[in-house]
C-alpha cells in the first residue's frame, strides 16, 4: 500500500499530491520526469537516474530547488515511509503554477511519487513483441519530457495490430520507441543502437556495458533496411529490461522467434542487478 508521496521536499499523504490548474506542465507540456524501480528495498541504480533527472532539468532550464544529495535523501525517506520493497518511484518536475499561463514560475514543482510494482507480462520474453514504424522524432530527445502524445494517440492502432509500441524513424533510420531504446543484432553478432537523438536509457547503459564484454557494438541508428537481414532485435527499458522484438510492421525479424542474444543479455542484466542489491544492502 502506497500511503505517502513527496511534495516539494515534504512527505505528505498520497491523496494530497496534485498540481495546480495553472501549472505549466499541464497547460503547456513544460515538465520532465524520471522513473526507477525499487527491488528488495533498494532504489535501483539511483545515482544514474538522478544524473539523468538533473541533466533533463538543466537542459530545460528548470531550476531545481534540491541538489543530488537532497533528492537521494528524499527518495530514501519515501521508500522507508511506504515500507516499499518492490515498487516504482516517479520524479515529476513541472514548470509550476504560472500567473500568466506561460512564463515559468521561479521555482518548479517537484513531486516524487511512489507506485506499486508495475506489471510486465513475462510471456513477452517467450513470444516476443511486435512494433509499428512511425515517422517522428521527439522534441529535445535527450530530455525525458512528460510528452507521450504520439504513443498514447497510436494505442488503438497498436492494439488492433497486436503491437506493443511505435518505433520512431526519420524515413531511413530508426531511433527509439515511445518508451524504450531499440537494438538490432546483426547476423555476425554485432549489436547496433543509436547514440545521438535518443533518450539514453539507464537500462540501455547497463545492457551496453554488459554487451561490450562479449559482442562488437556499433553506436549508430540502425537503418530500416537492416531489419530485413537482422538476426534479432530487442528493446530495453526499466520495466521491460530486455524484451525481444520479433516483427516490425510486416518485417519478420530473424527466425520470427525471440533470439538467444536478447535472452542472454536479460540474464546478465538480472545478475548485474543482484550484484547491485548485494553491494547496496547493509552487511548483516
Ligand X SMILES: *Cc1c(COP(=O)(O)O)cnc(C)c1O
Q: Which of 180, 221, 247, 258 binds ligand X (CB under 6 A)?
A: 180
Residue nearest to ligand X (CB): 201
Distance between CA atoms of residues 232 and 244, nearest Å: 8
Q: Which is nearer to ligand X, 164 or 180 (CB)?
A: 180
Determine if 50 is a binding residue for ligand X (CB under 6 A).
no
β-strand pairing of 251-252 with 230-237: unpaired
Residue span binding ligand X (CB under 6 A) among the ranges 103-111, 219-227, 236-244, 261-269: 236-244
- Asked if 164 interacts with ligand X (CB under 6 A), we say no
For residues 226 and 223, give the distance between their C-alpha atoms in angstroms, rounded to a whole number.
Answer: 5
Minimal distance, residue 187 CB to ligand X, in Å:
26
| From candidates 6, 236, 243, 268, binder to ligand X by CB under 6 A | 236
Sole binder of ligand X in the list 23, 176, 232, 273 (CB under 6 A) = 176
204 binding ligand X? (CB under 6 A) = yes
How many Å apart are CA 147 and CA 32, to the nearest integer? 8
Among 42, 82, 94, 238, which residue sits at the site for ligand X (rule: CB under 6 A)?
A: 238
Which of 200, 277, 248 lies closest to 46, judged by CA? 277
130/144 with CB nearer ligand X: 144
Binders of ligand X in range 4-43 (CB under 6 A): none
Instruction: For residue 202, state whether it binds ligand X (rule: CB under 6 A).
Output: yes
Q: Segment contacting ligand X (CB under 6 A): 81-89, 105-113, 152-160, 177-185?
A: 177-185
Question: Which whole-number Å values give the CA distances from 229 to 94, 225, 254, 276, 282, in the listed order?
Answer: 43, 8, 7, 36, 48
Looking at the Cβ atoms of 37 and 105, the one nearer to ligand X is 37
Among 56, 181, 193, 247, binds ligand X (CB under 6 A): 181
Site of interaction with ligand X (CB under 6 A) = 144, 176, 179-181, 199, 201-204, 236-238
Amino acid at each position: 500500500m502506497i500511503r505517502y508521496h513527496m511534495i516539494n521536499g515534504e512527505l505528505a499523504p498520497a491523496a494530497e499530491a496534485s498540481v495546480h490548474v495553472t501549472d505549466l506542465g499541464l497547460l503547456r507540456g513544460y515538465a520532465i520526469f524520471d522513473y526507477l524501480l525499487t527491488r528488495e528495498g533498494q532504489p535501483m541504480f539511483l545515482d544514474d537516474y538522478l544524473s539523468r533527472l538533473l541533466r533533463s532539468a538543466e537542459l530545460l532550464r528548470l531550476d531545481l530547488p534540491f541538489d543530488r544529495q537532497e533528492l537521494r535523501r528524499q527518495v530514501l525517506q519515501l521508500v522507508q515511509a511506504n515500507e516499499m520493497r518492490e515498487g516504482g518511484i516517479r520524479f515529476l518536475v513541472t514548470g509550476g503554477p504560472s500567473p500568466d499561463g506561460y512564463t515559468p514560475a521561479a521555482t518548479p514543482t517537484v513531486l516524487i511519487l511512489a507506485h506499486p510494482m508495475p506489471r510486465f507480462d513475462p510471456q513477452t520474453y517467450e513470444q516476443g513483441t511486435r512494433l509499428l514504424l512511425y515517422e517522428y522524432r521527439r522534441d529535445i530527445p535527450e530530455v525525458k519530457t512528460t510528452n507521450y502524445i504520439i504513443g498514447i494517440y497510436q494505442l488503438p492502432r497498436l492494439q488492433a495490430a497486436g503491437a506493443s509500441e511505435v518505433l520512431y524513424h526519420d524515413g531511413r533510420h530508426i531511433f527509439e520507441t515511445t518508451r524504450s531504446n531499440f537494438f538490432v543484432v546483426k547476423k555476425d553478432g554485432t549489436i547496433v543502437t543509436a547514440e545521438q537523438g535518443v533518450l539514453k536509457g539507464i537500462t540501455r547503459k547497463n545492457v551496453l556495458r554488459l554487451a561490450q564484454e562479449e559482442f562488437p557494438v556499433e553506436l549508430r541508428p540502425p537503418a530500416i533496411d537492416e531489419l530485413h537481414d537482422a538476426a534479432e532485435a530487442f528493446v530495453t527499458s526499466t520495466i521491460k529490461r530486455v524484451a525481444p522484438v520479433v516483427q516490425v510492421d510486416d518485417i519478420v525479424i530473424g527466425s520470427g522467434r525471440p533470439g538467444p542474444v536478447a535472452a542472454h543479455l536479460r540474464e546478465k542484466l538480472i545478475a548485474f542487478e543482484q550484484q547491485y542489491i548485494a553491494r547496496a544492502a547493509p552487511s548483516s
